[in-house]
Structure 1
Amino acid sequence: MGRARPRRWPFGATRGSQDRLLGHLDELRRLPQGGGPDGDFRERLRTRLTSADALAVPPVPESTGRARHARRTRRVRLSWPSQLATLGLAAGMMMSAFITYQSVPGDTLYPLKRAAEHTLVRLSTDDRERAEREMVSAKERASEVAALLGGSGDGPLVSATLSDMAESTKSAIKRMERVEPRSPKLNSFAQDQRDAVAPMLDQLTGPEQDQANTYLHYIEGLAVPR
């Protein structure tokens, strides 16, 4: 029979290291089984856990989150008094605009009306649109003269309004003749103005009557007899 091969320890360990490893294993077997950490380790662990709990941020309950969202929603929504105040303000602005449009020379809001008209004319994009807006202004001046004659009939106000009407008319006609010399709008405008101003002659006297006559002669060539 051949010689038995010597038993080899794994990893090429030497005989001395093998003896030391066996000695350590024997010491481990003699240790008490089932033992836990010592008292010092438990105290250190308790201290660390207590510190972590103190620094942790407590979670926000779901009900609290819903309450905060509801409060933010209530702040965004306007209350009924605020809504009523907003509607009242809008209604007041509309009423003020209507009163301003109905004002005549001498009224407190009349300068605001004229400023709005001038702004619309200046914002016109071309000569045609500007001429049409000036025609509207001339018609409005004729209506204002009629209102003044039906009321106090203040001479200076009537004279100033007739002058403004003539100025708007001349500017409108010049612009319209430049872009469309024989525009039917000129004929319609002249006829409307003649029908509005001619009846005023009997109520006008002195310089104001002369102004009205001069105006009628100016637009006479534009209006085709009906």
Structure 2
Amino acid sequence: MSRGRRRRERVLEQLTELRELPLGGPGQDFRDRLRADLLAGTVATRTLERAPAEAAATETPERAPARPAGRRRRPRRRRPLLSQLAAVGLVAAMMISSFATYRAVPGDSLYPLKRAAETTLVRLSSTDAERAARELDSAKTRAREVARLLGSAAEGPLVKKTLKDMEESTRAGISRLERAEPRSPKIKKFARDQEEAVKPMLPALDQEQLAQAEGYLDYIEGLAAPE
């Protein structure tokens, strides 16, 4: 039996009881019970009427009604995933750019950046021995660049300029190393390595370039000569 039906039957019973009472009016017990029943019904009705409004006003995010199927919120995990993918892409781009810069030869668009990085490393070195090592590494790099330039369409002036840079880096590095580590075995080792790198290039050089390379070989042969 529903609550409304029970309430109606209770009211009918009270009306029947009231009709059967004497003309002097209902007694105090009846009035108390009627007042209690009416108050209970009124309070219940008001509570039922206020419940939806109060529930909406005090609704917390955890109890919020579900969104319609067509307006579902996107999963929050996509943002971290996109951020991770962006970070990986950035690192990959930096690695590719660094590799391309390292492989650049005179005439390439990235070559000035490569030389600037080498110069910065030399300037940031804290000791003469470290600066000398950087300068000698640059000289070895110039030798490899000359080997790669030979046979290319732009080898002419670029080879000459690179040979000159190689000799300048060699002299600067040797001078620093002799001050920092007199009679260092690193000098002879460097001279032997450079001799092995430069001599195979001689047949491919023109007359002017050959003169530069032979002058360089004479210089480093003196460094490798036994004392």
Fold shared by both chains (TM-score > 0.5): yes
Across the aligned residues of Structure 1 and Structure 2, the Cα RMSD in angstroms comes to 3.9
User: Is the partner of 2:137 in helix, strand or coil?
Assistant: helix
1:184: which partner in 2?
Answer: 185
User: Is the partner of 1:150 in helix, strand or coil?
Assistant: coil
1:221: which partner in 2?
Answer: 222
* Percent of aligned pairs with the same amino acid: 56
1:128 partner letter: A
**Is 1:205 matched with 2:206?**
yes
1:20: which partner in 2?
Answer: none
- Cα deviation, 1:85-125, whole Å, max 9, x if unaligned, reads 54344333322322221221112221121122112222212
Aligned residues: 192
TM-score (norm 2): 0.64
Is contact 1:128-1:176 (8 Å) kept? yes
Residues in 2 aligned to 1:63 and 1:117: alpha-carbon distance in whole angstroms: 63
Gaps of 5+ in 1: 1-31, 37-49, 65-69
Is contact 1:103-1:113 (8 Å) kept? yes
Q: Cα distance, 1:71 vs. partner?
A: 5.5
> Pick from 49, 60, 63: which aligns with 1:61?
63
Q: Cα distance, 1:161 vs. partner?
A: 0.3
Change (3 A) 1:104 1:73: closer
2:166 partner letter: M
Change (3 A) 1:198 1:76: closer
**Is 1:121 matched with 2:125?**
no
**Is 1:139 matched with 2:143?**
no
Gaps of 5+ in 2: 1-28, 36-48, 67-73
Change (3 A) 1:71 1:182: same
Q: Cα distance, 1:164 vs. partner?
A: 0.5
Q: Cα distance, 1:76 vs. partner?
A: 4.1
2:132 partner letter: A
Is contact 1:106-1:157 (8 Å) kept? yes
Residues in 1 aligned to 2:200 and 2:78: alpha-carbon distance in whole angstroms: 63
Q: Cα distance, 1:61 vs. partner?
A: 1.7
**Bigger Rg, which one:** 1
